[in-house]
Chain A
Amino acid sequence: GEDVEQSLFLSVREGDSSVINCTYTDSSSTYLYWYKQEPGAGLQLLTYIFSNMDMKQDQRLTVLLNKKDKHLSLRIADTQTGDSAIYFCAESMAGGFKTIFGAGTRLFVKA
Chain B
Amino acid sequence: DAEITQSPRHKITETGRQVTLACHQTWNHNNMFWYRQDLGHGLRLIHYSYGVHDTNKGEVSDGYSVSRSNTEDLPLTLESAASSQTSVYFCASSESKGDYGYTFGSGTRLTVV
Interface segment, one of B63-71, B75-83, B95-103: B95-103
- Which residue in B41, B90, B94 is a CB contact (below 8 Å) of A42? B90
**B104 / chain A contacts, CB cutoff of 8 Å:** 42-44
Counting CB contacts under 8 A, is A88 at the interface?
A: yes
Contact B50 A45 (CB under 8 A): no
CB distance from A80 to the nearest CB of B (A): 23
Q: With the chains together, A36 CA to B41 CA distance in Å? A: 16
Among A43, A97, A103, point to the contact of B41 (Cβ < 8 A). Answer: A103
Q: How many residues of B contact A (CB 8 A)?
A: 27
B105 touches A97 (CB 8 A): no
Residues of A within 8 A of B100 (CB): 45, 95-96
**A99 neighbours in B (Cβ, 8 Å):** 33, 101-102
Q: Which residue of B lies closest to A46 (CB)?
A: B101
A108 interface hit (Cβ, 8 Å): no
For the complex, count residues of A whose C-beta is within 8 A of B.
26
Decide if A95 touches B35 in the complex (CB within 8 Å).
Answer: no
Within 8 A of B (CB), among A8-64: 8, 31, 33, 35, 40-45, 48, 50
Asked if A97 and B50 sit within 8 Å, CB to CB, the answer is yes
In the complex, the answer to whether B102 meets A43 with C-beta atoms within 8 Å is yes
Q: List 10 A-B contacts (CB under 8 A).
A: A42-B92, A45-B102, A95-B97, A95-B101, A96-B31, A96-B97, A96-B99, A96-B101, A98-B48, A99-B33
